[in-house]
Structure formats: structure tokens, C-alpha cells
Structure 1
Amino acid sequence: MPFNKLHVPQALSADTCRAINEELHESLVETCGVNPDDHFCLVARYQPGDMLLHPRFLGERDPEATIVIEIALLEGRTDEQKERLFKDVRERLNSIGFDANNSIMFLLENDPADWSFSPAGSVKSVLGL
């Protein structure tokens, strides 16, 4: 059950943000076996000048146009799945007209005891895992 957080420039359109998240979700389903119904995303906008990063660290990018894709998900994916995810998301970004060079992605892995969607408790206790 991933929760995606997109850190995007203030000027990036809501339609582009939705398209990025849709492609990200589809990639998670295809490369990491994520349940298609586990579709959660928060868009966090930043003002010009608020993205402080080295413009050439491990690749050229435009700091004023760079997005950060933060994915929190249950642990258990292989390194191969993660590599496929990163490659697939970048291909999908390019396919919708967003320069994938202006993207940074990272995963935060956790387990079912770290998630809660209701007053009943953690996902682990609710599902009896």
C-alpha cells in the first residue's frame, strides 16, 4: 500500500500532477505488484527558489523544474523490482511530456504495523497479519 508524495514546483499544473501520479501508480502496479485500489497521493508545491539541490548530482537537471517523488510502501520488493520501477516511471514521465531528467525518486519502506486507516488500529491488527 503505497502513499505517494509529489514535491512539485508551484507553477506545475494540477493536470500534469494528476498525470504524473496516474503513471506512477500504474508503474507501481505493474512493476511492484501493488494493489490497483491502493491509490493515495499528496501533492506538495514549492515556491521558486525553494528546491535546493545540486543541479548536476548524478545527472543534469533544472532545479526550478525538478520534482521529487517520494513513495512510502510496504517492504519486500526486490532490488530488481525497484530498478524496474525507477526506469519505468522515468519512461512514463517522458511519454507524458515531462522531462524525466527533472525527477528524483526515493522509496521509504515499512511494514503493516506502520500504517493505520481507521480507529480500529494498524493495518497489521485490522487484517490479522
Structure 2
Amino acid sequence: MPLVRIDLVRGRSTEAVKAIAEAVQRSLVDVLKVPERDRFQIVTQHEPDEIVALDAGLGFQRTSGTVIVHIFTQRGRGTEDKQRLYQALASRLAEAGVDGTDLFISYFENGPDDWSFADGRAQYVQGDLPVPGS
């Protein structure tokens, strides 16, 4: 059950934004085996000066097409799965018009007690939902 935040610079068409969001979801479904309807995304568009994403000293130049993807999900996936996810995201987002150097991915893990889907209840803890990977 990932919660995904997608931050990008304002100016893309509605279709392009939808293609980016769909590319992220397809990557999660295909690589992490997330169920199709397990889709929780927040897409936020920013003015060009509101996203600063340098190269961390790696020597490449980002453009105004920067896309930052934050993935919040249950812990338990290995490094190989994460690497495959990063590659899938880069590939699918390239198809949606995002250059690889403009993609920044942040992956956060937490546990079952860190989620409430509705009504102020922890559905994983209370047994309403199976804990992914268990």
C-alpha cells in the first residue's frame, strides 16, 4: 500500500500529468506487485522556483522538467526490488516524457501501525487488511 507524492514543475498538460501518475502506478503494480486498486497518489505542481533539485555532485544538469517521486510504503522489500522499481520508474517515466536526469526518487519505509485508511482506525493492526508481505 504505497502512498505516492509526485512533485513536478507546473506547465505540463493534463494528459502529461496523468501519464506520469499512471507510469508510477504501473511500476508499483508490476515490480512490487501492489494490487491495482491500491492507488494513493498526490500530484502537486509547483512554480519553477519552488523545486530545487541539484545533482548531489554527480555532474549532470536537471531541466525544468524535474519530477520528484516520494514513495511511502511498508518495510520489508529488499535492495534488489527497490533497484528494479527505480529502473522501472525511469523507463516508464521516459515513455511519459520525463528525462532520466530529471527524475528524483525518494523511498520511505514504515510499519503496519503507521497507516489509517479511514475512520481513525489502524486497519492493518486491527486485522481489517492483511499486512503486505506477511
List per-residue Cα deviations over 1:59-91 (Å, max 9, x = no partner). 523252211001111111110000000011101
Partners of 2:70 and 2:29 in 1: CA distance: 16
Give the match for residue 112 of structure 2. 112
2:28 is paired with a residue whose SS is helix
2:72 is paired with a residue whose SS is strand
Bigger mean CA deviation after superposition, 66-75 or 12-21: 12-21
Q: Which amino acid aligns with 2:6?
A: L
Give the match for residue 7 of structure 2. 7
Partners of 1:11 and 1:59 in 2: CA distance: 26
2:113 is paired with a residue whose SS is helix
Partners of 1:89 and 1:28 in 2: CA distance: 8
How much does 1:111 deviate?
1.2
Q: How many matched pairs?
A: 129
In the alignment, structure 1 residue 29 sits paired with structure 2 residue 12: no
List per-residue Cα deviations over 1:100-122 (Å, max 9, x = no partner). 22110011111111110121511
Bigger mean CA deviation after superposition, 85-94 or 6-15: 6-15
Compute the TM-score of the two structures, normalised by the length of structure 2: 0.85
How much does 1:56 deviate?
6.4
How much does 1:18 deviate?
1.3
Give the match for residue 44 of structure 1. 44
**Contact 1:20–1:93, Cα closer than 8 Å, also in 2:** yes
2:24 is paired with a residue whose SS is helix
Q: Which runs of 5+ in 2 are unaligned?
A: none
**Contact 1:53–1:63, Cα closer than 8 Å, also in 2:** no
Partners of 2:108 and 2:85 in 1: CA distance: 14
Give the match for residue 87 of structure 2. 87
Give the match for residue 73 of structure 2. 73
% identity of equivalent residues: 27
Cα distance 1:59–1:106, how it changes in 2: closer, same or farther (>3 A)? farther
Compute the TM-score of the two structures, normalised by the length of structure 1: 0.88
Q: Which amino acid aligns with 1:11?
A: G
Partners of 2:22 and 2:86 in 1: CA distance: 15
